[in-house]
């Protein structure tokens, strides 16, 4: 369950008894299977509402501060779109160089400030633990939109929502994670989150340099989930239900020569995908560089563009849930 609620002054009309009201979202470890079912049900409703009427006033009068210290296209714009589709407003701070951060302001002071003006704060930052630090100092709920190589919980929620919408289930799945499993925070969160479901098998396919970190593997093993590690995609592809491809995270390498060695380690192509099941999906958090060839995009199994759309519905659900309006 989430930690202590914030929002000392409860605005009129907020459902403060709702379990996630005023809570931070920092890690996928906060979510039980019941919580997940709830988020997915709300996200599904959001999808239907957007398809029917586009924008509606569930969060009218609420303000989101969108604080990005690292580049982002999808996460940042889908949070903004989510808030605006729910009738709320956004303070976008994606160029921290134009904010007081450039004058040397600390993260705690920046989030203290935003907590005075906004009802919820979304933060992306290059350091592991930054979202937790922000949450400690903010009066309002903080949502982690990526803390360095740590976690990206809202991405894992949208990834699992995607699997559910696309394959109709979250149990009985073989999920193969491919690429940069060392620095890719999305796979750290997704592997942890998948432990909530039944009969999951995880395959980790990466160059030796980019293996899944031992702490994540230990947590997954503690939940009794079988994990297999290899460098060869072919050996596991035929049994895969979800192929989750990641970009080699160039910005996280200390040694540029190491990046050069592994940057083109895998390219998913129509030829390779011939040996995969007919009913399976290929996902990617995006941005893609070269790891999925563009001529695979028209294949019905290519779910990555649909996945980014599901992201907005999940973020609408999360905003509504922490603001007590779901």
Tokens, residue 62: 């609420």
Q: Which is nearer to ligand NCD, 157 or 286 (CB)?
A: 286
Could you identify the residue written with the tokens 């202590």? Answer: 4
CB of 298 to ligand NCD, least distance (A): 22
C-alpha to C-alpha distance for 221 and 15, rounded to whole angstroms: 38
C-alpha to C-alpha distance for 47 and 310, rounded to whole angstroms: 8
Q: Which is nearer to ligand NCD, 130 or 155 (CB)?
A: 155
CB of 145 to ligand NCD, least distance (A): 7
CA 304-309-313 angle, to 5 degrees, is 135
Applying CB under 6 A, the residues found at the interface with ligand NCD are 74-75, 146, 152, 155, 185-186, 247, 249, 285-286
Q: Which is nearer to ligand NCD, 115 or 146 (CB)?
A: 146
CB of 31 to ligand NCD, least distance (A): 18
CB of 269 to ligand NCD, least distance (A): 20
Phi, psi angles (nearest 5°) of residue 277: -60, 160
CB of 153 to ligand NCD, least distance (A): 11
Q: Which is nearer to ligand NCD, 225 or 245 (CB)?
A: 245
- Whether residue 236 contacts residue 202, with contact meaning beta carbons closer than 8 Å, is answered with no
Q: Which is nearer to ligand NCD, 39 or 149 (CB)?
A: 149
Element (H, E) at 177: strand 173-178
SS3 letters for 31-46? Answer: CCHHHHHHHHHHHHHH
The gap from C-alpha 127 to its chain's centroid, in whole angstroms, comes to 16
């Amino acid at each position: 369950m989430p930690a202590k609620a914030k929002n000392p002054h409860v605005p009129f009309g907020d459902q403060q008894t709702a379990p996630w009201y005023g809570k931070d979202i920092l890690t996928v470890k906060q979510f039980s299977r019941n919580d997940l079912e709830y988020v997915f049900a709300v996200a599904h409703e959001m999808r239907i509402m957007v398809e029917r009427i586009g924008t509606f006033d569930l969060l009218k009068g609420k303000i989101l501060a969108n604080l990005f210290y690292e580049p982002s296209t999808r996460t940042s714009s889908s949070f903004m779109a989510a808030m605006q589709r729910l009738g709320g407003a956004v303070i976008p701070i994606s160029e921290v160089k134009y904010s007081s951060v450039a004058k040397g302001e600390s993260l705690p002071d920046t989030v203290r400030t935003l907590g005075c003006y906004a009802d919820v704060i979304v933060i992306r930052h290059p350091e592991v633990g930054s979202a937790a630090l922000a949450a400690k100092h903010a009066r309002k709920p903080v949502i982690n939109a990526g803390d360095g190589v740590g976690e990206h919980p809202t991405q894992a929620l949208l990834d699992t929502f995607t699997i559910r919408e696309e394959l109709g289930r979250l149990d009985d799945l073989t999920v193969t994670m491919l690429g940069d499993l060392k620095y890719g925070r999305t796979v750290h969160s997704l592997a942890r989150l998948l432990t909530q479901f039944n009969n999951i098998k995880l395959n980790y396919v990466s160059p030796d340099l980019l293996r899944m970190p031992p702490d994540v593997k230990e947590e997954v093993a503690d939940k009794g989930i079988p994990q297999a590690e290899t460098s060869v995609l072919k050996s596991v592809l035929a049994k895969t239900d979800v192929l989750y491809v990641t970009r080699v995270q160039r910005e996280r390498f200390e040694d540029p020569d190491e990046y050069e060695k592994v940057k083109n380690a895998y390219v998913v192509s129509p030829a390779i995908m011939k040996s995969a099941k007919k009913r399976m999906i290929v996902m990617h958090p995006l941005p893609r560089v070269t790891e999925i060839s563009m001529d695979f995009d028209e294949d019905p199994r290519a779910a990555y563009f649909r996945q980014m759309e599901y992201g907005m519905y999940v973020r609408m659900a999360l905003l509504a849930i922490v603001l007590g309006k779901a």
